[in-house]
Structure 1
Amino acid sequence: MASSLLLQLCIIFVVFGLAFAQLSENYYAKSCPQAKCIIKDEVRKTIKKEPGMGGSLLHLHFHDCGVGGCDGSILLDDTPKTPGEKSSLINVNSTWGYEVIDRIKARLEKTCPGVVSCADILAAAARDSVVTLGGPTWALPLGRRDSTEPHRMLTDTLGSLFNANLQALVMAFKQQGYTMEEFVALTGSHTIGRARCLTFRKHIYDDKNINPAFAKAMQAHCPKVGNDSERIPIDSTTPYVFDNAYFKNLLQQKGLLAIDQELYTGKGGITDAIVANYSSNQDIFFKQYVTAITKFGQTGVLTGNKGEVRTNCRKVNAPKA
Structure 2
Amino acid sequence: MDGSISIDLPQRRTLKASIGCVGVGLHSGRRVALTLRPAAAGTGIVFRRTDLGIEIPALYDHVVETRLCTMLGLPGDRRATVGTVEHVMAALAGCGVADAIIELDGPEVPILDGSAAPFVFLLDCAGLIGRPAPMRAIEVLRPVRVSEGGGAGAAWAELRPATGPHFDAEIEIDFPGTAIGRQSAALRLTPAAFREEVARCRTFTLAEEVARLRAAGLCQGGSLANAVVVDGPLILNPGGLRCPEEFAGHKLLDVVGDLALAGAPIRGHFIGHRSGHALNNRLLRALFADRDAWRVVEDEDVMAVGGAMPSYAAAAAPSFA
TM-score normalised by the chain length of structure 1: 0.24
Higher helix proportion (structure 1 or 2): 1
More strand by share: 2
